[in-house]
Amino acid sequence: MDYPNLSRHILSLVGGGENISSFTNCMTRLRLEIIDPSRVDVDALKKLDGVMGVVDGDQLQVVVGPGHAQRLRDAFAVETGLEGSAPVDADADAPLSAVDDLRRLQTKNTQKVKARQKTGVHALFRHIGNIFIPIIPGFIACGLIVAIANVWKLIAPGVAANPWFLAFAALGSIVVGALNLLVGYNTAKEFGGTPVLGLIAGAVSYLPALAGIPASTAADGTVIPAQPLSIPLFGDLKPALGGIIGVIVTAWLFTVIEKWVRKHVPAWLDLFVVPVVTLLVGAAVCIFVIMPIAGLLMQGIDWVLIDFALERGGVIGGYLLSSLFLPLVMLGIHQGLTPIHAQLIADHGYTQLLPVLAMAGAGEVGMAIAIYVKTKSARLKSIIRAALPIGVLGVGEPLIYGVSLPLFYPLITACLGGGFGGAFVAFGIQATGGFGAGALGLSGVLMTAVITNGQWLWYVGGLVIAYIMGFVLTYFFGFKEHMVERLS
């Protein structure tokens, strides 16, 4: 593919650089934020050599396929002279290995669902997704290194004393150790602030000095008691109070302060005044307001999702969490759980919530297999053949928007079937004392590689149960041949 030439043609057909407010890419698409959609020639774009499809809407999406999107984005940046914004979720669009029919159905139904996602809440979750998605490759890399190190120690226990092994294993802790800094940096970038100030914002609530003065012994042997930093109404401070949610709010606040100060300061004083005022005011608000409130919020979320739903709820809690997850995906609010997963990984080394929720996708797989076996429609079979392999690997949107959502009742049986897998995994978490996913970004069978504490068989067992129950419920109760007419 001639990326520079294609970029020039795309640029001319969308009204030139002055008609683009920003652009980015995902795994398969160049995504353009268009100022005046009336100036875009969509039909001509579809005819360009190398373009596999165009999704028109608030965001113009030029589909070029996996492996090409990033290269086209780089060439487009050179052509326009613009930098673009952070790449977005790789599973937010259909895989281009799917047949055209699947892609058309998925695009059609995705647009219907996304059209209803215009509230401020949905915008907030999109921001959260844009903050964390660029970090996911690092999560995957470090998570797999931790998994390799754990298997290595099982095979050769003595290797744990080898300094080279320790250096190798330490690579797996880099992203978790720097997560607050990465999140702060990306938050500032997402909201239009100076990224390095966002990075500093991410460090404020993690300062060791926030622990106060530890207990010590004077020269005469007198014990000097610890002197913690304390805030009225909220009590003692401690580093990392408020966790990742506190970091996001603090970094966002830094961007608000930075923009306000910049409007009121002469340009010749900008470099000296804006960053200093931003840091001092933002840090004060972070320590005295954001950290305590975010700490209470994190405790509440942790109690609801972990203590109540999983530990006390057990199999019932696991069933409900898994069976309700697909509707959250369709509503576009599942990204709101990403900071929770990240915080659990930072605190415990894994998120026990993610393997339970992943069973929802396994229920979709079982549903698709049941329909494939039962239907007489060659068209529906071809759609499922295109979407099923990547569904097994954890990319569920083609099955949701291309199969279960338009047929409707199979969506319900997929949710119910996935719930059984979630119940099994939740039972395993209780029975073993705890395990989870040590990295974000992997789902389906691929998540097996990052299941911690050697408990991957519980996860695989959950997948198999969700496959079976999704199949059984759909085969007997969720699909009738006349439903194929809904795919028009």
CATH number at residue 59: 3.30.1360.60
Amino acid at 412: I
Range of the domain at 57: 3-133
Query: Among 109-118, 272-281, 321-330, 343-352, where is mean pLDDT lowest?
Result: 109-118
Let me know whether 129 and 22 are in one domain: yes
The long-range contacts involving 36-45, CB below 8 angstroms and separated by at least 24 positions, are 39/14, 39/15, 40/13, 40/14, 40/15, 41/13, 41/14, 44/13, 45/10, 45/13, 45/14
- pTM greater than 0.75 (yes/no): no
Q: Which two tokens stand for residue 193?
A: 């602030």
Under the banding of pLDDT at 50, 70 and 90, the label for residue 422 is: very high
Domain boundary residue, one of 264, 298, 332: 298
pLDDT 10s digits, 299-325: 898 888 888 988 889 999 999 999 999
**Structural domain includes residue 160:** no
Query: Among 220-224, 326-330, 399-403, where is mean pLDDT lowest?
Result: 220-224
**Structural domain includes residue 359:** yes
**Structural domain includes residue 281:** yes
Cα distances (Å, whole numbers) of residue 133 to 14, 136, 139, 239, 399:
27, 5, 10, 25, 22
Let me know whether 323 and 461 are in one domain: yes
Let me know whether 368 and 266 are in one domain: no
**Structural domain includes residue 170:** no
26 is catalytic: yes
Is 387 in contact with 368 (CB distance < 8 Å)? yes
Domain boundary residue, one of 74, 104, 133: 133
CA 182, CA 136: separation in Å to the nearest integer? 11
Q: 211: burial class by Cβ within 10 Å (0-12, 13-18, 19+)? A: middle
* Number of independent structural domains in the chain: 3
Let me know whether 79 and 195 are in one domain: no
Single out the catalytic residue among 26, 142, 286, 415.
Answer: 26
Is 87 in contact with 131 (CB distance < 8 Å)? no
Higher model confidence: residue 451 or residue 151?
451
Let me know whether 336 and 437 are in one domain: yes
Let me know whether 244 and 323 are in one domain: no
User: Residue 109 carries which DSSP code?
Assistant: H
Residue-averaged pLDDT of the chain? 86
Let me know whether 8 and 127 are in one domain: yes
Tracing tokens 């068209």 back to the chain, one arrives at 379
Let me know whether 333 and 239 are in one domain: no
Let me know whether 391 and 479 are in one domain: yes
Let me know whether 352 and 483 are in one domain: yes
